[in-house]
Amino acid sequence: MTAGARRRLALVGDCADCHGLCCVALPFTASADFARSKPAGTPCGHLGADSGCGIHARLRDSGYAGCAVFDCFGAGQRVSQVTFGGRDWREDPGLARRMFAVFPVQRQLHELLWYLTVARSLPAAAPFADRLAPALAETERLVDAEADELLALDVAAHRAGINELLLAVSERARAGLPAARRYRRGADLVGARLRRADLRGANLRGALLLAAELGGADLRRADLIGADLRAADLRGARLDGALFVTQAQLNAARGDEATTVPEGLTRPAHWRAA
């Protein structure tokens, strides 16, 4: 595979090289995020024969905000073009079942690659270089593995080991900052009023920040891995330098032109209308 092809199959979803796997393999339940329920392995009614979404330009207005914020981290095209060599799940039921089973495994591995790549870029990661390098190398090896190895992988165990390493890097990066010990992992901050709060170094891993008021807040070096930012107000907030933020988290939140975003991520289009 050429270097250019590998870059395209990296950590950013490319729907043009995927066979609509997220629209078929994954289930969703009728809620504020999805207008209708769909079981796993069943194509969404809006999926076209070309694997494109018929309502992609109006997902939010059509009641599919969950689709608008979903990010496969590039796992979709990896499964379609590498693991299964370009074959389409429509070819036969057996192939479809295997592709649908591999997809969530690959998505978790790609997400871990994202976090490991971010971790290695942090100055605080220097003391952990001898652990980060092999963790990254093994995860890169796994994403290129055959389907049978992926299906047999204990992905939870692999993830647990990497999470321990990421937490160690996070703790070093946040040490000594104002909010480093003020917030606990998984805190329930639904609707919390944190406007203009100094949250530098806060541990917000897995925190519930749904509809939280974070306008103008300083989140530099706050650990946001796994935090639920759906409908969180980030207008004017500082997220440059925040740890482990993903594009999906930004897509789920509300922001504006004054919101700063971490390097490598893009300002969601819907923020301009906020």
Higher pLDDT, 180 or 4: 180
Spatial CB neighbours of 229, under 8 Å, sequence gap ≥ 6: 209, 210, 212, 249, 250, 252, 253
pLDDT at 193: 97
The whole-number average pLDDT for the span 203-214 is 97
Is it the case that residue 112 has pLDDT exceeding 80?
yes
pLDDT band at 6 (very low <50, low <70, confident <90, very high): very low
Radius of gyration of the chain (CA): 19
Architecture of domain 176-274: 3 Solenoid (2.160)
Spatial CB neighbours of 26, under 8 Å, sequence gap ≥ 6: 40, 103, 104
pLDDT band at 56 (very low <50, low <70, confident <90, very high): confident
Q: Write the Ramachandran bin of 264: left for phi over 0, alpha for psi from -120 to 50, otherwise beta.
A: left
Is it the case that residue 148 has pLDDT exceeding 90?
yes
The whole-number average pLDDT for the span 147-152 is 98
Q: What is d(CA 173, CA 154) in angstroms, rounded to the nearest whole number?
A: 29
- In percent, the amount of the chain with pLDDT more than 90 equals 79
pLDDT at 273: 56
Cβ(214)–Cβ(191) below 8 Å:
no
For residue range 15-36, list pLDDT tens digits in order: 888 999 999 999 999 998 899 9
Is it the case that residue 83 has pLDDT exceeding 70?
yes
pLDDT at 10: 73
In the chain, CATH 2.160.20.80 covers 176-274
Give the residue among 206, 243, 205, 203 at the shortest CA–CA distance from 121: 243
Cα torsion angle, 200, 272, 107, 38, sign? positive
pLDDT band at 81 (very low <50, low <70, confident <90, very high): very high
